[in-house]
A and B are shown apart, each in its own frame.
Chain A
Amino acid sequence: MTVPKISLRGVTKSFGPKQVLRGIDLDVATGESVVVIGGSGTGKSVLLKCILGLMEPDAGSIKIDGEETTRLGDAERNRVMRKFGMLFQGGALFDSLRVWQNVAFGPIQSDGMAPARAREVAIEKLANVGLGPDIAELFPSELSGGMQKRVALARAIAREPEIIFFDEPTTGLDPIMADVINELVVKCVSALGATAVSITHDMASARKIGHRIAMLYDGKLIWQGPVGEIDHCGNPHVEQFIHGRAEGPIQMQVRKL
């Protein structure tokens, strides 16, 4: 059996008395795209940040290419980080830098590429996400939300990572732009042959970009399976979520006014 690209076993994370992750087991094969769905505040972002190494889990094991990555030193962490690309929810573009400098940031600062060459790479990556060279000199604040997302995607793929993480790629976009982003995500991931892990609560997006879906509820993955099976999985929690019903086993913690 081949080693999974990403392998999580018994990952837990708490903030004070609040247990956010209560033992996550997940395997992602090379070239596979897994989408983690779940309601707001269920710990999807925490899970992603633990895999990325931006947060240290309290317990459990996270292996990338079979290598344990929890409790790594700074230099080791940077080496593993080199395999990753990340699309942040709000884009997280550096607002003091121009668009091309954002995209070229990884190649220039971390890989030591010459700025002139990196600029060409940046413009090529921008073209990959459907943006022309005319916006390269603009600042991120001068772009619309959808364009910012695309620039952020270009930055995430600029170093040709082996694994790409997507944090709610369609949040805050209109349905058409959301679909444009979904298609770009699928295109970029398959062009790089990368492994992808996404988190979202947008079912249309999950169906489009995922090969496999896992649902996070109450700190655990309560269901995992291929995208095609989600509509008849027989799990009441999953069914409530994908149909977006207020009534069901998942009780939103809403205080009475």
Chain B
Amino acid sequence: MTIPVITQLGRMVLALMATIGAVSAFAGRAVQQTVRPPYFKAQIARQMLEIGYYSLPVVGLTAIFTGMVLALQSYTGFARFSAESAIPNVVVVSLTRELGPVLAGLMVAGRVGAAMAAEIGTMRVTEQIDALKTLSTDPFKYLVAPRLIAGVVTLPMLVLIADIIGVLGGYLVGVYKLDFNDATYLRNTIEFLQFQDVFSGLVKAAVFGFLITLMGCYHGYTSRGGAQGVGLATTNAVVSASILILTANYFITEAFFAR
């Protein structure tokens, strides 16, 4: 009875190792192509628009409500020991360090990661990727590299905007619901904010941008077997990107702030 269980466990570990190896090889090949000219500039621009501009509404909505709820929740907590004045600072630090990059990352993973996996997966199963190769165009250079570059460049911009919108949400609740003085709220927001808070969030965003686009491209590129395969690739892209974002988030936080 124990033997089959151990066999099963061994198989799972081997499969996991094989996947990690395959993803690393894929990432290596892709990164090589991102630093080697020529660049497909039109492709990069198109992807930046897709990842950045078209994600603005969903990320903006996420950010504003997160900022609002942060202000409200921290008020109920802090009012118990008369520390209401810390609310603006709590809102801005939580947003810039954690919630901005993580929530934007998760939203973009759901929106863009899935779309990439579906698009590249469909190109795979309809032989468009083979067609690229027969036209002497490296699919890593034409499809994968522009997406990676766009992801790493665009996500920090998106997060910066999310940070600002989130602070605005906190401000609205603070001033109009919790009766803060508006000037005091803004001063408290800015005064205690450190460069490190925003910077670490943007570094996170760049890493998340890489992970989301890598997972979208990897799962799309390796998809097999028609519509069902593409569907599976889409799911895998979103799930794996989300897990990687949360995992990477811990380690980046530790690298920045643990002493």
Q: Which A residues are within 8 Å of any B CB, using their own CB?
A: 49, 52-54, 74, 78, 81-82, 84-86, 88-90, 92-95, 105-106, 109-110, 155, 159
Contacts and interface: CB of A to CB of B under 8 A. Distances in A.
Nearest to A158: B135
Contacts of A53: 133
Nearest to B138: A74
Nearest to A107: B135
Interface of B: 123, 126-128, 130-131, 133-138, 142
Contacts of B131: 86, 88, 92-94, 155
B130 A81 contact: no
B126 A110 contact: no
11 contacts: A52-B134, A74-B138, A86-B130, A86-B131, A89-B127, A94-B123, A94-B128, A95-B128, A105-B137, A109-B135, A110-B135
A256 to B, nearest CB: 25
| Majority SS at the chain A contact face | mixed
Contact of B133 (A81, A89, A105): A81
Contacts of A89: 127
B135 A54 contact: no
B130 A92 contact: yes
A11 to B, nearest CB: 19
Contacts, number: 50
Contacts of B123: 94
A131 B135 CA distance: 22
Contact of B134 (A86, A94, A95, A109): A86
6 closest A-B pairs by beta carbon, nearest first, are: A110-B136, A92-B127, A92-B131, A106-B135, A86-B134, A78-B136
A199 B216 CA distance: 34
A52 B127 CA distance: 13
A53 B133 CA distance: 9
Contacts of B135: 105-106, 109-110, 155, 159
A92 B136 contact: no
Contacts of A92: 126-128, 130-131
Given A92-B131, A105-B135, 18 more contacts: A54-B130, A74-B138, A81-B133, A81-B134, A82-B136, A84-B134, A86-B134, A88-B130, A89-B127, A90-B126, A92-B126, A92-B130, A94-B128, A95-B128, A109-B137, A110-B136, A110-B137, A159-B135
A90 B130 CA distance: 12
A132 to B, nearest CB: 24
A84 B128 CA distance: 16
A149 to B, nearest CB: 13
Contacts of A110: 135-137
A232 B137 CA distance: 45
A74 B137 CA distance: 11
A56 to B, nearest CB: 13
Contacts of A95: 128
A81 B137 CA distance: 10
Nearest to A52: B134
Given A88-B127, A90-B126, A92-B126, A109 B142 contact: yes
